[in-house]
């Protein structure tokens, strides 16, 4: 979750909500909390690969599971492309960005190929670098800040009277994209020790830590750049550092952003590969994708296919379109997760049902705030997947 979104998502959110960006962050965090608790509750009962694809099938039926799994695969495939492009944008000049992005996809797919233990080790290193970079950037941004002006800007952020609530909700949808990452923990239930205990703790703990980090970074950006300056920035963390008195720290922001994008991409490849594995086992994706490597115990065919598809998207798509499309798929995925968690028995329940109702309703609201182009493309791709499954089932022998 502490990936490329923390370095990029606040700018478009401020463009939508203005000084209400911190209110949007609170809404996005609440939606993420509802979804995370539903995912944690379900993962404790069904500690197998596949996440909400499995939960939807078990609790609601095969079609619900397919909607969740297909939404996750298409949404997170687009996220993979977005993370690869973000990494390249911070790391190299424009002419080299697409080939370098493809190289990042192929390299991290190779890391995933040799086992989840190595994936976890690399992730620890990447997250450590990102957290250090963010700490330096926050300190650098405040080093030259006018405390009076910064205080006024943060005070404006708490004035709810002049907010455009439609803009705030749109900003919440954009910021939710940055939070969405805890589901990938649930997709890896077969590879975790003591999953009934470990997965819920990991999901809730990871989200809580990410919320604190995002709140600190968001308040810093708003205080140092102002709502209008933040909205116009293409690299807000780097711009906030540049506004301070530590000029030497700007490269730290770029290194941190590049590492964050790589860390997010690494986790995405692992999670999408395992959901594809689960769908292939049930016949909802080609059976070839269900293969598990005899030595490394990873879904190597699924991860190879994902690397090829993401590389193709990187070569033809743009970052804005990839993010919008991804948000559509992710919110549908969590909608199914909330509905599935609402049906669990009292003995399996860890959180009150109203959280699942709120999570499902807010997922629908945030989808409605997304730009119409990615929503239209998302609906078409979702419909295509549903049609293929319907025709396949219709043609299957009774």
Q: How far apart are CA 228 and CA 278, in angstroms?
A: 45
What is the chain's length? 398
Q: Looking up tokens 């790589």, which residue turns up?
A: 262
pLDDT at 190: 63
Most confident among 79-83, 319-323, 377-381 (mean pLDDT): 377-381
Q: Are 40 and 203 in contact (CB under 8 A)?
A: yes
**Which of 34-43, 115-124, 132-141, 255-264 bottoms out in mean pLDDT, i.e. has the lowest?**
115-124
Cα–Cα distances (Å) from 71 to 2, 28, 68, 171, 321, in that order, read 22, 20, 5, 21, 16
Most confident among 77-81, 94-98, 236-240, 333-337 (mean pLDDT): 333-337
**Which of 155-159, 212-216, 268-272 bottoms out in mean pLDDT, i.e. has the lowest?**
155-159
pLDDT above 80 for 162: no
Task: With cut-offs at 50, 70 and 90, classify the pLDDT of residue 56.
Answer: very high
pLDDT at 7: 82
**Residue-wise pLDDT tens digits, 100-140:** 999 999 998 888 777 655 556 777 787 888 899 999 999 99
**Residue-wise pLDDT tens digits, 314-329:** 998 887 778 778 889 9
Q: Sort 358 into a burial class: Cβ within 10 Å, 0-12 / 13-18 / 19+.
A: middle
pLDDT above 50 for 75: yes
pLDDT at 132: 92
Quick one: what percent of the chain has pLDDT higher than 90? Answer: 31
pLDDT at 119: 59
Other C-beta atoms closer than 10 Å to the C-beta of 216 total: 14
Q: Are 155 and 13 in contact (CB under 8 A)?
A: no
pTM: 0.83
Segment 1-21 shows an average pLDDT of: 84
130's CB contacts (< 8 A; 6+ apart) are 2, 3, 256, 259, 260, 263
**Residue-wise pLDDT tens digits, 324-370:** 788 899 999 999 999 999 999 988 888 899 999 999 999 999 999 88
Q: Which residue has the higher pLDDT, 314 or 235?
A: 314
| Element of type H or E holding 148 | helix 147-157
Segment 86-102 shows an average pLDDT of: 87
Q: How far apart are CA 236 and CA 224, in angstroms?
A: 10
pLDDT at 285: 83
Closest CA to 323 of 210, 181, 177, 180: 177
pLDDT at 191: 66
Mean residue pLDDT of the chain comes to 85
Q: How far apart are CA 57 and CA 72, in angstroms?
A: 14
Q: What is the DSSP letter of 296?
A: T
Cα–Cα distances (Å) from 306 to 73, 105, 216, 288, 295, in that order, read 9, 9, 34, 13, 20
Coil, strand or helix: which one is 233? coil
| Element of type H or E holding 4 | none
Q: How far apart are CA 295 and CA 382, in angstroms?
A: 35
Q: How far apart are CA 260 and CA 7, in angstroms?
A: 8
71's CB contacts (< 8 A; 6+ apart) are 328, 329, 330, 332, 333, 336, 382
In DSSP notation, 307-344 reads: HHHHHHHHHH--HHHHHHHHHHHHHHHHHHHHHHHHT-
Task: With cut-offs at 50, 70 and 90, classify the pLDDT of residue 398.
Answer: very low
């Amino acid at each position: 979750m502490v990936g490329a979104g923390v370095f990029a998502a606040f700018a478009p959110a401020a463009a939508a909500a203005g000084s209400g960006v911190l209110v949007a962050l609170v809404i996005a965090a609440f939606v993420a909390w509802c979804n995370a608790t539903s995912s944690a509750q379900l993962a404790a009962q069904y500690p197998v690969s596949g996440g909400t694809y499995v939960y939807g099938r078990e609790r609601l039926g095969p079609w619900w599971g397919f909607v969740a799994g297909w939404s996750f695969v298409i949404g997170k495939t687009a996220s993979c492309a977005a993370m690869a492009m973000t990494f390249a944008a911070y790391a190299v000049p424009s002419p080299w960005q697409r080939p370098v992005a493809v190289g990042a996809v192929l390299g991290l797919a190779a890391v995933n190929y040799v086992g989840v233990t190595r994936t976890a080790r690399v992730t620890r290193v990447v997250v450590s670098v990102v957290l250090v970079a963010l700490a330096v950037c926050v300190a650098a941004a405040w080093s030259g800040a006018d405390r009076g002006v910064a205080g006024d800007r943060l005070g404006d952020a708490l004035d709810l009277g002049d907010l455009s609530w439609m803009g705030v909700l749109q900003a919440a949808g954009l910021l939710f994209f940055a939070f969405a990452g805890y589901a990938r923990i649930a997709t890896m239930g077969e590879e975790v020790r003591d999953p009934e205990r470990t997965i819920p703790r990991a999901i809730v703990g990871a989200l809580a830590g990410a919320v604190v980090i995002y709140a600190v970074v968001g308040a810093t950006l708003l205080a140092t750049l102002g709502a209008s300056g933040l909205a116009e920035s293409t690299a807000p963390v780097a711009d906030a550092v540049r506004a301070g008195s530590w000029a030497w720290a700007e490269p730290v922001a770029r290194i941190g952003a590049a590492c964050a994008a790589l860390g997010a991409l690494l986790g995405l490849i692992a999670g999408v590969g395992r959901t594809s594995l689960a769908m292939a086992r049930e016949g909802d994706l080609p059976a070839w994708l269900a293969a598990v490597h005899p030595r490394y115990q990873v879904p190597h065919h699924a991860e190879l296919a994902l690397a090829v598809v993401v590389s193709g998207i990187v070569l033809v798509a743009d970052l804005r379109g990839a993010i919008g499309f991804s948000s559509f798929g992710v919110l549908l995925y969590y909608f199914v997760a909330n509905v599935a968690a609402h049906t669990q028995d009292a003995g399996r329940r860890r959180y009150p049902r109203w959280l699942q109702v709120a999570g499902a309703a807010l997922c629908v609201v945030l989808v409605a705030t997304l730009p119409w182009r990615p929503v239209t493309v998302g609906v078409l791709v979702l419909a295509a997947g549903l049609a293929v499954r319907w025709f396949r089932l219709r043609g299957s022998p009774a």
